[in-house]
Chains A and B, each alone.
Chain A
Amino acid sequence: MVKKLMHQHNTKSISVKLHASLGQYKPIDADSLTFDMKISEEMTVLELLVLLSIPNEIIKMISLNDKLVKSTATLSDGDRLILFSTIAGG
């Protein structure tokens, strides 16, 4: 599913990277699987997933500024978020 980025009226901007099969959820106006987003105050990763129409159950790992976190983590200005779905290798 693709959708347009929601540009909101605030100053928080984060970098989002969608890994592998999550590419299907890339916003329609993003040039690549790594893109910048503006978000509202106090948004969690879980709320961002809703915004991107990504089902929570397919997210297996979340990296926020190089630390693995839960979906309840709160996003801050300048954060670098990477979302991983199933990898199934190894």
Chain B
Amino acid sequence: MGSGYWEKVLRVDLSTATVTEEVVPVDVWKKYLGGGGYGAKVLYDEVDEQTGALEEGNKLIFAPGPLQAAKQTGAAKFTVAAKSPITGIYGESAAGAGWGMALKSSGFDALIIQGAAAQPSYLVINDNSIEIRDAKKYWGLDAFDSSDQILADAGIDKASICTIGQAGENKVAIACIVVDKHSFAGRCGLGAVMGSKNLKAVLVKGSKKVPVHDQDKLTEINRDIGKTVHENTKDWLRIHGTPFVEIGCDSDGDTPTRNWQQAHWPEGAEKLGCPNYTDELKAKPHSCNSCVIGCHRDIEITEPAEYAMKGPGPEYESLGMLGNNCLMDDVKALSFMNDLCNRYGVDCISMGSFLGFTMDCLEKGYMSPDDIGGRNLQWGDKDNMIALIHDLCNVKPGFGELFVNGIVPAATKLGDKALELAPHVKGLDLPAHDPRAFFSLALNYATGSVGPHHERGNPQVATAGFLLPEAGVDSVVDRFEMENSEFVAAKYQDYGTLTQSVCHCKFMLFGGYSMSVMLESLNAITGWGWSMEDMLQAAERIFTLQRLVNVKYGVDRKDDTLPKVIFEPSVEGSRAGKCPHDFEAALDRYYDLRGWDENGIPKSEKITELGIS
């Protein structure tokens, strides 16, 4: 019998080209689980406040969790963590496909990359064989082409691969990591960190079976929950993917529109959302390993020729940010932009944020076309949007040089009025869910470990009936309720932290995968015999540790804010007259609930209670 852990971490120092295997005992995993929990532990212990995100001293931690031993629906996830080049604080992003399960099956619980290679390199992990190889011939290729070529040249069957595109090579702050050409560790600029280390790709093949405590029980859980999730999602999330929610989110005033200045855009949502999306793009489901949902989209465009592409289609976040936020309603053009972002390897959320913000600044006179290479960008201006994606990813003079380090450095150069208009928290662009439509998002965005994130805490789904009764959220939440929003935000943050650390997909909640099933799975894998309280405390411990990482990097109450626009109600739509209110009082209640002091610093007694060391 096993515990779901190898108790081994692989550390690769690219500066010295050395590879070491480190023993990490199960006691550490019991505290921090894996994924973002382990990533935070490494950053807390090893990366100090002076180290720049793109300097050699930053660490890039790839970590699956215990659930990658399960071959269970939703268990394809893994996380990547580092100090973020956008925010300068804790950065983390998750992806799926096959890479996390492959790393786990290679005999390692995590991979730490440190230093920087003298020349472009890629890493091959083939079970116990670890090799740093020359990547000069792939440098300059996009993420999809480099994936294909590296896999073909490596001569290793059924391997999984993480790559960066040109944006990561060029250290664009919003660069992402591309996994098996259909999943993306999109947020926080982790692709730029990878690029700063001259690391083009990490190819993994694992053929070992992870030892677990009770395989028979696990097999039974996997079978039952697979059927349940399939039954609950087959009519919508499987057929249409996340674009299914586009029209509903727009109707709720949830989707950012016109750089967050407009409440809704039903005529645009109708063109971007379903059924038009599914019909126009011939969209089909594409699953991560072991998943019964298949929320990713495979699409193909043949006409018009200028938007021809075949591959992963845009998800809701891309529709919201490149579409509604920019008043761009051509779903084929948007899919082409999404494909460009995927290939260059940049986060579509931040890309859409930059473009919508730029359109708004131009309209209001806070920027001139001369600031962006003479391009007279208008709302919905798809030709110039495409041109500007190229400009940013190649760091061209104008838009590229202006936004290469993120929205705050760009807005700061443009002046105070532009800075006030920039939709960010701690430098990270807001994703496509609006706190004015779901008030519990206000505290979630303001206090989130990575900044504003739609999955590190997704409290808005509590209004839709996707509840966490084991954590005390046992009834549908009113979307305009501020009074108890600290509780709802904290519980969904802890849930998000837990899923990022055991490494599981939060969409399984839509299919009926409860925290009880997660606990049952965790115990079958590890044999720990945990209670629900044990698991919830682990989640709180990890979230608090991530806060401590951020406190080390200078975060306190002054940073737990929201953009001004979030406190400006609309005059129309379903959220007319509504916006989060009494925010500072809610923040006080949130800190109190968390055991943090009035400045947002975890109190020593809370740190002791959680056993953080």
Contact = CB atoms under 8 A, between A and B. Distances in A.
Interface residues of B, number: 35
B463 A86 contact: yes
Contacts of B274: 61, 68
A85 interface: yes
Interface string A16-60: 010111111000000000000000000000000000000001001
B235 A66 contact: yes
Contacts of A17: 235
B275 A23 contact: no
Contacts of A82: 235-236
B415 interface: no
A86 B248 contact: yes
A9 to B, nearest CB: 31
Interface stretch (B239-247, B324-332, B371-379): B239-247
B461 A87 contact: yes
Contacts of B317: 90
Contact of A89 (B235, B251, B507): B507
Q: Which of A67, A82, A87 has its CB near the most chain B CB atoms (within 10 A)?
A: A87
B276 to A, nearest CB: 9
Given A20-B466, A66-B239, A88 B245 contact: yes
A61 B458 CA distance: 21
B56 interface: no
Q: Which of A20, A63, A84, A86 has its CB near the most chain B CB atoms (within 10 A)?
A: A86
Contacts of A89: 242, 245, 458, 460-461, 464, 466, 506-507, 510
A21 B247 contact: no
Q: Which of B247, B248, B438 has its CB near the most chain A CB atoms (within 10 A)?
A: B248
B275 A68 contact: yes
A87 B244 contact: yes
Contact of B465 (A20, A60, A67): A20
Contacts of A67: 275
Contact of B433 (A23, A24, A63, A88): A88
B464 A87 contact: yes
Contacts of B465: 20-23, 85
Given A20-B464, A21-B463, A21-B464, A87 B235 contact: no
A75 B247 CA distance: 22
B534 to A, nearest CB: 27
B537 interface: no
A88 to B, nearest CB: 4
Contacts of A90: 242, 244-245, 249, 315-317, 454
B472 to A, nearest CB: 18
Contacts of B254: 88
A86 B315 contact: no
Contacts of A23: 465
Contacts of A85: 248, 464-465
A24 B475 CA distance: 11
A63 B235 contact: yes
A35 B65 CA distance: 40
Interface in B139-180: none
Interface string A70-90: 000000000000101111111
A61 to B, nearest CB: 6
Nearest to B477: A21
A87 B461 CA distance: 6
A88 B476 contact: no
A86 B244 contact: no
Contacts of B454: 90
Contacts of A21: 463-465, 476
B252 interface: yes
Nearest to A63: B235
Q: Which of A17, A21, A66, A88 has its CB near the most chain B CB atoms (within 10 A)?
A: A88
Interface of A: 17, 19-24, 57, 60-61, 63, 66-68, 82, 84-90
Sort A-B residue pairs by CB-CB distance and give the 10 closest, nearest first.
Answer: A60-B248, A21-B465, A90-B242, A90-B316, A20-B465, A68-B275, A88-B460, A86-B464, A90-B245, A87-B245
Interface of B: 235-236, 239-240, 242, 244-245, 247-249, 251-252, 254, 274-275, 315-317, 433, 437-438, 454, 458, 460-461, 463-466, 476, 479, 506-507, 510, 574
5 contacts: A20-B466, A21-B464, A60-B245, A87-B464, A88-B245
